[in-house]
Structure 1
Amino acid sequence: MECAGNELLFCMAMVVLLGGMNMVRAEDPTQYYDWRVAYKWLSPLGTAPPQRVITINDQFPGPTLSTITNHVVSINVYNLLDEPLLFTWNGIQMRKNAWQDGTQGTNCPIMPGYNWTYVIQFKDQIGSFFYYPSLNFQRAAGGFGGITIANREIILVPFPQPVGDFTILIGDWYNTDYKVLKDTLDTGYILSNPNGVLINGQKPMDATFWVQQGATYRFRISNVGGATSLNFRIANHPMQVVEVEGTYTNQDYFDSLDIHVGQSYSVLVTMNQVLGDYFIFASPRFAENIPDGIAILRYLNSGNSNLNPIYPISAPPTWDFSFSLIQAKKIRMNLTTGAARPNPQGAYKYKDIPIKRTVILANSGLMVEGKQRYAVGGNSFIYPNTPLLLADYLQIPGVFKIVPFHKHPPSMAFGSPLIMSTFVGNSGLKENFTEIIFQNTEETLQTWHLDGYSFFVVGMEPGSWTKHSRRSYNMNDAISRSTVEVFPFSWTSILVQLDNKGMWRLSSQNLQRQYLGQELYIRVWAPPQGPMGDYNQKPIPSNVILCGKAKGYAKNISSVNF
């Protein structure tokens, strides 16, 4: 159902009802939200004239979406922008429900002046994540916000309850309008460095976090930027990492954390210093001439002591990749505790599951007909005007080409020829482990994200991956997460069990690279009836939007099995 103008209020109730009928069990608690997505003229860095910023309910960043494991969230999104809109949910696994993933490959967009309702169940998940708009380079204009999923009461949390909980969104920012940035890419040029770093959408020194001396707080930190890794630190306050993208960790302390684009960390910080002000820094890594993001940690009842705020230690040297690599290897899974389920995480012996296939994906960037493009596995992805998932469901021919995932266009080094097409890697459902090797042949750090899944990060080392590289894998307590870094001229290996039916995006988290083709989709499929019947996709939502070639298939919606 689509609604516009004076119909919006009536349609809001109908959309919530119809969209939830096929997807929610009666016993699942449901939270309802209305989001009005619009432009607002702001100067986030405070150093340039106002620019168009995407707000939600007049907020920048958008509201934090707080929920509990297995709860259902119904979000009625009104698009008040002047172009199509979709939201995606970074790190949320969308069990059996790719219809709500909110990417160009899964959903038709919400057109200007219309609304659509997402109905999402946060099935068997806890932790810290974020959402953002997924179309037309809109993420560079805002529209992002935090997601926090708390444990159910029967599941113990492996640390004492903090006094407070802060969502902190850090990210690079351009003073240039996002449509100008997109036009720059469309005409074949690449972008210069961002103009600065925001903390919770605010310029340096504007964001303040008030704390009580002696108390412990939880900070949920996400890098929502488009290109720049950031080093996060708080003066005189070590951070105890307790959770990463839905996985409880081994609770080590760090004076500073490298958080790469698209990643989320949850840390505990105890306020054990003298009353006063302490700077919080988000400093660019592996990039030069980008000013730091700065916020203030302020103790209550500190009087005039805030006249002399205390600075944190310096960030690691700009080009010190070894610091970041060593730190990444220290982040391990906590094997002594459960997460969203009663059984301990360590009971899942991933080392005992065989590897079904190995896929090696190399990133590359080169000019095509005088314009910059980026690729993965030799293919630069092109979107059709019909979402892949919808075309698959309705069996519409000619929208995309399916190839076995392990035979996806072969790995290619930087500078090799590429294919520009809509290739989709095909995989059967729950076929043991798929081993994916990200081989970085460039001098820039990469980050990769897989929608709909978490995966085990079992290895990362400099050089080229070979079969002998498996000797260095961590097959005991590797972290499980959804976004992973790949260092320059290095490789990173992940293990993932493709047990979530649907069409899922594997993409660069660098916004410029993703927009110019550095992504692919994996079709995870099994017959509607059979031994994997319990893993089948949920029915198509009653409020599905049709576009492209799917417009002519409206009468077929209820008669197709998937």
Structure 2
Amino acid sequence: MMLAKKISSFNILCFLVLSCCLQCLALTHHHWVVQEASYTRLCHTKRILTVNGKFPGPTLMVHKGETIYVRVHNKGKYNITLHWHGVKQPRYPWSDGPEYITQCPIQPGETFTQKVIFSTEEGTLWWHAHSDWSRATVHGAIIIYPKLGPAGYPFPKPDAEVPIIFGEWWKKDVMKLLKEALRTGGDPNVSDAITINGQPETFRLAVDQGKSYLLRFVNAAMSLSLFVSIANHNLTVVGVDGSYTKPITNDYIVISPGQSLDALLLANQNPNQLYYMAARAYSTGVGVNFDNTTATAIVQYNGNYSATPFSPPILPYLPYYNDTNAAFRFLGRLRSLANKDHPIHVPVKVTTHMVSTVAVNTIPCKINDTCEGPNGTRLAASMNNISFVNPSMDILQAYYRHINGVYKRDFPNFPPYLFDFTADYLPLSLEIPSRGTRVKVVKYNSTVELVLQGTNLISGLDHPMHLHGYSFFIVGYGFGNFNRSNDPSSYNLIDPPLRNTVIVPISGWVTIRFTANNPGVWFMHCHIERHMTWGMDTVFIVKNGKRTKARLLPPPPDMPPC
């Protein structure tokens, strides 16, 4: 099952961004205009949705602990929302962004001022649209520098820093592709190309011999996890998803949709040669279509060297597209920094245990409809056999104002059906999920362990699962069915990686833990866009604590109406 096809025309937003440094009380002003722009890609000139006429959009730069204000004016013809991916927004989900979860969308011609509160995040995150499939072009990097002062980075300061944003490109208008996929119930078309900083092959990274570069990687792709490598050069990973890690050096990285990663590149190779940076899919689903193109960028040394455009760049090694062992050999090495200056607090005593399946499903086709899913069905997706349905008003407003009938508080702690989740052949009767808006309510400061179990219904696949409002510790993962008696014995409770998006391995499971100390309404979903659209989602409602500073803050006065 794969995603849509290329971008075409639409109008959209005009943003005015006001940055406020709470430490120094100085206001700075950023003007962001989100609008149509023309770009030429793969011999096609298209009108695409952009911010400030840029694709990718502007890079937002803040220091740890700062707060910014973003005034969003929608000048387009479609509804829009913006999400600050990985920003925890303590006690303030009102600006988190997912439509019909924490807000109703900003309608054409309307304005909404978003307050974005940075707290413990450091490193690289990103922002993107969180409505329909607009994030295909409405996205950009967020750089969170250390607090002002002598501490700085916990690694040697690089000579330069470069955002590297991966995306997908479609020749057609993604909104039309979404509409067509929803009409037919089939699998959307795969993208036509993978991009690096908006280009499939023309981005150049100029480096100086002997200098180091902090590459701030973001995977903004709609459906593809990626293997990434630079020919003849190693990458030293020093951060993931807005948190620092123990340095690990490797000749390739793996990054899923929604994830960010900081890596140091040392320019220590022959300067007379050009080198390719390359990215291609890591895709494991049997019979699942995917974009199998390779995006490339040129790494070129500055100076009077003999390298010319006629000297072919060297291609790097990349694992085969379905090499799960290579992917998790890399991912399994990631560890939190976990030192005196960057302590972590892994929940040890768990008060809320949960297990949730993540699955691609089918639902029967309506009478007189022609559906293009397997065996004439409509494709769907689920968590714990529930295919999430967006309500007609946002859940946060309903929760805050005690409005009944918008959602049910009965998302199950465990799968409703127990079977061999990773078997090669499963009964068709297991493919059909229930549908509804069902959420999980947890007490403030409870410690949550959530096991995400992959299934082979329809087709097994790796699923990048993202939780809003929190970073979580990845304490364990494995293949096959999770075994509650044996698998916890291998958990890492000392220095597990701290992330906001985790890859659930094909035919496997992953366990995350977090302390529910951020009251509010927080979305959890697969970051493969079509899976989120099909219903691989749920919502955590974290109740207020007793203290004033443990309670949800009130909404701003200009929340968009439904």
TM-score range normalised by the length of the shorter chain: 0.7 to 0.9
Match of 2:349 among 354, 362, 366: 354
- Tell me the residue number matched to 1:466: 483
Segment of structure 1 superposing worse, 369-378 or 401-410:
401-410
- Tell me the residue number matched to 2:231: 235
- Tell me the residue number matched to 2:114: 118
CA 1:12–1:176 in structure 2 vs 1: closer, same or farther (change >3 Å)? closer
- Tell me the residue number matched to 2:3: none
Question: Gapped runs of 5+ residues in structure 1?
Answer: 1-7, 339-343, 548-562
- Tell me the residue number matched to 1:292: 294
Instruction: Give the deviation of 1:29 after TM superposition.
Output: 4.7
- Tell me the residue number matched to 2:36: 39
Match of 1:490 among 501, 508, 532: 508
CA 1:28–1:392 in structure 2 vs 1: closer, same or farther (change >3 Å)? farther
1:536 aligns with 2:544: no
Match of 1:324 among 304, 327, 332: 327
- 1:349-379 CA-to-partner distances (Å, cap 9, x unmatched) read x25x311122111122222232211111111
C-alpha separation between the residues in 1 aligned to 2:23 and 2:298?
45
- Tell me the residue number matched to 1:106: 102
- 1:512-551 CA-to-partner distances (Å, cap 9, x unmatched) read 1001111111100126xx2x4322122211222222xxxx
- Tell me the residue number matched to 1:385: 392
- Tell me the residue number matched to 1:441: 455
- 1:29-69 CA-to-partner distances (Å, cap 9, x unmatched) read 5443332211223333x14x333421101111100011101
Instruction: Give the deviation of 1:316 after TM superposition.
Output: 0.8
- Tell me the residue number matched to 2:374: none
Segment of structure 1 superposing worse, 153-162 or 93-102:
153-162
- Tell me the residue number matched to 1:555: none
- Listed as ranges, the matches of 1:244-255 within 5 Å are 244-255=240-251
Question: Gapped runs of 5+ residues in structure 2?
Answer: 1-12, 284-288, 366-377
Match of 2:127 among 101, 125, 131: 131
CA 1:320–1:197 in structure 2 vs 1: closer, same or farther (change >3 Å)? same
C-alpha separation between the residues in 1 aligned to 2:169 and 2:435?
29
Instruction: Give the deviation of 1:405 after TM superposition.
Output: 6.0
C-alpha separation between the residues in 1 aligned to 2:110 and 2:125?
27
CA 1:485–1:28 in structure 2 vs 1: closer, same or farther (change >3 Å)? farther
- State whether residues 219 and 259 of structure 2, in contact with CA within 8 Å, keep that contact through their aligned partners in structure 1: yes
C-alpha separation between the residues in 2 aligned to 1:31 and 1:88?
21
- Tell me the residue number matched to 1:203: 200
Aligned AA for 2:293? P
Instruction: Give the deviation of 1:410 after TM superposition.
Output: 6.4
Aligned AA for 1:166? V
CA 1:152–1:410 in structure 2 vs 1: closer, same or farther (change >3 Å)? farther
- State whether residues 126 and 246 of structure 1, in contact with CA within 8 Å, keep that contact through their aligned partners in structure 2: yes
Instruction: Give the deviation of 1:28 after TM superposition.
Output: 4.8
Aligned AA for 1:430? N
- State whether residues 137 and 515 of structure 1, in contact with CA within 8 Å, keep that contact through their aligned partners in structure 2: no
Match of 1:279 among 273, 276, 287: 276
Aligned AA for 1:439? Q
CA 1:306–1:537 in structure 2 vs 1: closer, same or farther (change >3 Å)? farther
Instruction: Give the deviation of 1:426 after TM superposition.
Output: 0.6
1:394 aligns with 2:401: yes
- State whether residues 212 and 265 of structure 2, in contact with CA within 8 Å, keep that contact through their aligned partners in structure 1: yes
- TM superposition score normalised by structure 1: 0.87
- State whether residues 35 and 78 of structure 1, in contact with CA within 8 Å, keep that contact through their aligned partners in structure 2: no
C-alpha separation between the residues in 1 aligned to 2:80 and 2:385?
29
- Tell me the residue number matched to 1:145: 140
Secondary structure at the residue paired with 1:181?
helix
CA 1:69–1:153 in structure 2 vs 1: closer, same or farther (change >3 Å)? same
- TM superposition score normalised by structure 2: 0.87
- State whether residues 356 and 414 of structure 2, in contact with CA within 8 Å, keep that contact through their aligned partners in structure 1: no
1:520 aligns with 2:527: no
1:505 aligns with 2:489: no
CA 1:302–1:387 in structure 2 vs 1: closer, same or farther (change >3 Å)? farther
1:334 aligns with 2:372: no
Aligned AA for 2:465? W
Aligned AA for 2:512? I
Aligned AA for 2:471? S
C-alpha separation between the residues in 1 aligned to 2:22 and 2:503?
37
Secondary structure at the residue paired with 2:351?
strand
- Tell me the residue number matched to 2:437: 422
Match of 2:91 among 96, 108, 111: 96
Match of 1:314 among 296, 305, 317: 317
CA 1:302–1:95 in structure 2 vs 1: closer, same or farther (change >3 Å)? farther
- Tell me the residue number matched to 1:178: 174
Q: Report percent identity of matched pairs.
A: 24
Aligned AA for 2:154? P
Secondary structure at the residue paired with 1:429?
coil
Instruction: Give the deviation of 1:192 after TM superposition.
Output: 3.3
Instruction: Give the deviation of 1:170 after TM superposition.
Output: 0.8
C-alpha RMSD over aligned residues: 2.3
- State whether residues 361 and 437 of structure 1, in contact with CA within 8 Å, keep that contact through their aligned partners in structure 2: yes
C-alpha separation between the residues in 2 aligned to 1:461 and 1:158?
31
Greater helix share, structure number: 1
CA 1:26–1:160 in structure 2 vs 1: closer, same or farther (change >3 Å)? closer
- State whether residues 216 and 263 of structure 2, in contact with CA within 8 Å, keep that contact through their aligned partners in structure 1: yes
